[in-house]
Structure 1
């Protein structure tokens, strides 16, 4: 059961969460014509009068770009202004997650993006650990990640998540925590809602954008942090067999943060995972605004 924040942003104003409702005939509900974002926020550990949002500008930019795929022109600045207003009104006191989204809000049955109303909304919920920080087990999904040739994978589009949902449920119902999806070429793509990294011989390796992955913001953060540590990062295709012999495997995403993988199928990975731990500790320090070198990634909001 989720604890939703008491207020939502809906129809260009702040309203009680329970009042932010749509019709069952809403176009986006039937055709997946919705683009969304997701970002983390926490009360500032050093200052109880403010909360901290992680990479707010980058998240707003990505949602603005994703909106273009459903033919909705919304500026990153408008999204940012609304999120700040939303956070100030809710005054969250614990770790939380924000879900801003744009969608086709007309009522009707014709699948289209032209001559149709669009809307922008935000809601949020309290959220601790999405996955266990001690590590997860993964199975290789029987479902394949979509291809960019038939789906706009550079956007965070809701329709894509039917594959993620199928893969996640398949994994959990067969005794695993998470799924790893391959792409149509048989290479590693991503997890159900996270990007994936492996470590081999002191190098971090991760599938590149050409492997039909989402352009993850936490992924981008992890790569930058690793490079600042002097850890080599290589973006290239990853084979299934590499997962099984890697020194470390870890997942990352806004909700999951950095989570190590303990087991893939019936292959157990090393318990010692110094690089994943180092990156997770650094990312935690950054999100808590304890690292002056990354202050521009943290946006404080007075409440």
Structure 2
């Protein structure tokens, strides 16, 4: 299904991906006591000797913060250094996705975060479009997004993704591409692994952090880009009914980038998506290092 990059980072050293394996007794495998990140890289369209990573610093910072929630001190500078070496060793020649993660690597049966060994690993895959660029269909999930009072939602904690997995499978098996989860207050939260935006009357609306969403890096990028383009963005609670009457709806994430929504349940949305397309074109130009204003968002790595 996936073409994995040949070299991984495992047990504090680089190794062949096929040799980077864990025991079936690994603590994190049983209790979801891990945290992961995800960032995209592409060969530089203007310079074949470079690989471009999008917002490397922010991704490393977020994973470091997620690690703290698991009582693991992993500096962002350490993550960044290893990712740079990882890219140099693999020298990918296609669009790819990097998955850095930390996990409790001890072998044991006691659910805990104290006095348990933790580890940091990285692997990568070749990755084009995660969702169809033509748009996706969504259903409102019967599963509810967790609340921060019962789960540390400010991190990408692996255990949280059981809800995403249930929602995604429910959506696909009932004829849709994606799921939209509501929060415990009955307001729109996010998709299975993406943030969500709606457009009404030329303005963008998106759930804020108080709606139990992940602090998405692509989401943050869209807020900044939209502001720079003079498009007003309002972070506030969104009702289910607003999704059905919105002028445009789109999802955002590292893997998904910006993905338009064509249909929610049995409600078809307009195929005219001027704001979505404007944002998507701008984000693509930025990731390809064609926008000098956002040069700090793109980290070039020489592989010559």
Q: Provide the TM-score with structure 1 as the length reference.
A: 1.00
Q: SS at 1:63's partner residue?
A: helix
CA distance in 1, matches of 2:259, 2:186: 24
> How many residue pairs align between the two structures?
303
Partner of 2:51: 51
The C-alpha deviation readout for 1:14-36, integer Å capped at 9, x for no partner, is 10001111110000000000000
CA distance in 2, matches of 1:72, 1:18: 26
**CA positional deviation for 1:11:** 1.1
Unpaired runs of at least 5, structure 1: none
**CA positional deviation for 1:12:** 1.1
**CA positional deviation for 1:125:** 0.3
CA distance in 1, matches of 2:17, 2:103: 18
The C-alpha deviation readout for 1:56-100, integer Å capped at 9, x for no partner, is 000000000000111000000000000000000000000000000
CA distance in 2, matches of 1:271, 1:288: 26
The answer on 1:243 being equivalent to 2:243 is yes
CA distance in 2, matches of 1:71, 1:112: 10
CA distance in 1, matches of 2:24, 2:265: 40
Partner of 1:157: 157
CA distance in 2, matches of 1:298, 1:13: 26
Aligned structure 1 segments of 4 or more residues deviating by more than 3 angstroms: none
The C-alpha deviation readout for 1:270-300, integer Å capped at 9, x for no partner, is 1100000000000000000011010000000
**CA positional deviation for 1:13:** 1.0
Partner of 1:90: 90
CA distance in 2, matches of 1:48, 1:102: 32
Report matched runs for 1:1-303 at 5 Å: 1-303=1-303
**CA positional deviation for 1:188:** 0.1
Q: SS at 2:290's partner residue?
A: coil
CA distance in 1, matches of 2:214, 2:191: 10
CA distance in 1, matches of 2:270, 2:171: 21
Q: SS at 1:154's partner residue?
A: coil
CA distance in 2, matches of 1:289, 1:96: 16
CA distance in 2, matches of 1:288, 1:235: 28
CA distance in 2, matches of 1:113, 1:81: 26
CA distance in 2, matches of 1:260, 1:50: 30
Q: SS at 2:72's partner residue?
A: coil
Q: SS at 2:68's partner residue?
A: helix
Q: SS at 2:109's partner residue?
A: coil
